[in-house]
Structure 1
Amino acid sequence: MRYTIALTLLAATTAATACDKCANYDNANFRIKQVTVQHDARIAATIWEVTVEGTAGKTTPAPAGQLNGAPVLGYVFPTTLKSTDVGFSATDGIVALALTSHPDFDDSPLWDENADGDYGNDGVVWHPHWVVLNEDKRVAGGLAVKQFAEGDKSVKLPPTNPGMPMYMDSPGYQVITEGNTIRVVVPDYRINNRRDFSFDGVACFMEVNTGGAEGGHGSGDKPMLGVYKVYSVASKDLTLPYKVR
């Protein structure tokens, strides 16, 4: 039941127009045909895959030229995992693994995804985040990454987090794009050795809000990172029906 309200809101937005710029990315590269999570005992990891009608990962956002209003495209796996399974402190919400691209900023400073020796210039390269999503009616997609008060000592984030006051981690898993598939490899120990969870797949457009100040952390009228448009949902109704193979 804890997923029902937010997932219903998100599913309802698949037919809605959230913003003019969202339409620029509404193409076959974000129309999901299938999602799978398969366990491979040989490498003690799960392999998460999204298969689309077009070419997975080919479309990336056009830069906004600043952090405020920066676009983020994502292939997202909502799951029934607990926040504590992926290194956060206990909190309500939907734990999701998001594969994202955003050219205006780099939020994975520990990882050099394009292997050029510069750890701060590769936000456009598809990379993973663990996030906790909660309901947020301030955005058309009905969901946002859950925030907390800056400096709140009761909140625990993994040491690989990007240093923002929201439930987000930058775990550095390998992401591979190949034809119509994008996949990510997640070691078993990084999800508390869980294989009994359910999941779904969503392709969506998100946007950053800094409250008008570069480096700011949102404002009262918009969340720091919200969902503005859903392009497709693997199950069509976001019931998280899929199981790990």
Structure 2
Amino acid sequence: LWHSHWVVLGPDDACGEGALKVIDIPEGAKPRLPATWPGLPILIDSPGWDPVIDEEVVEVRVPFANIAVVEAANFDGVASGLRVNANVHAPLLCVTDVFDVASGDLSLPGKVKR
């Protein structure tokens, strides 16, 4: 069983040497977050959009009120497991068992298309 999340990843050796985690939102910080943010103190979104997978192409149609917010963004696709820790900042979500990276090297080559 799998489902998709949108996350911001960054390095954290607490997850293992050279490993990635879902970035924490520091206490008191007020980042701009999507309306579908689930309320956790991490940069994650669970919008419920279903990706359409056709061989080597993954398409996700995302409604934005203002596309300019993401037009300059780059992205990559990662199929992996997430280890959930008991403490929300232990860190809460560590990337584990990376099965595939769309670019092959996490170089963030993806661009938003209209």
What TM-score results when the alignment is normalised by the length of structure 2? Answer: 0.70
CA distance in 2, matches of 1:238, 1:130: 15
Larger Rg: 1
Cα offsets for 1:23-73 (capped at 9, x unmatched): xxxxxxxxxxxxxxxxxxxxxxxxxxxxxxxxxxxxx2xxxxxxxxxxxxx
Q: Does 1:203 align with 2:86?
A: no
**One-letter code aligned to 1:225:** L
Judging by fraction of residues, say which structure has more helix: 1
Q: Which residue identity lines up with residue 159 of structure 1 in the other structure?
A: A
CA shift for structure 1 position 165: 1.1
Deviation at 1:205, TM superposition (A): 1.4
Q: Distance in 2 between matches of 1:218 and 1:188?
A: 30
RMSD after superposition:
3.0
User: Of 92, 101, 107, which residue of structure 2 is paired with 1:233?
Assistant: 101
Q: Percent identity among equivalent residues?
A: 39
Counterparts of 1:197 and 1:158, CA distance in 2: 15
| Equivalent residues in 2 for 1:187-226, closer than 5 Å | 187-189=63-65, 191-192=67-68, 194-211=70-87, 217-219=88-90, 223-226=91-94
CA distance in 1, matches of 2:74, 2:26: 30
Letter in 1 for 2:13: K
| Structure 2 stretches lacking a partner, 5+ long | none
Q: What TM-score results when the alignment is normalised by the length of structure 1?
A: 0.38
Match of 2:50 in 1: 174
Matching residue of 1:46: none
Please give the secondary structure, in 1, of the residue aligned with 2:62.
Answer: strand
Alpha-carbon separation, structure 2, partners of 1:168 and 1:197: 16
One of 7, 19, 43 as aligned partner of 1:142: 19
Q: CA deviation at 1:218?
A: 4.1
**AA partner of residue 62 (structure 2):** V
Q: How many residues align?
A: 112
User: RCO (CA 8 Å, sep 6+): is it higher in 1 or 2?
Assistant: 1
For structure 1, list consecutive stretches of 5 or more residues without a partner in the other structure: 1-59, 61-100, 102-125, 212-216
Shift of residue 208, structure 1, vs aligned partner: 0.8
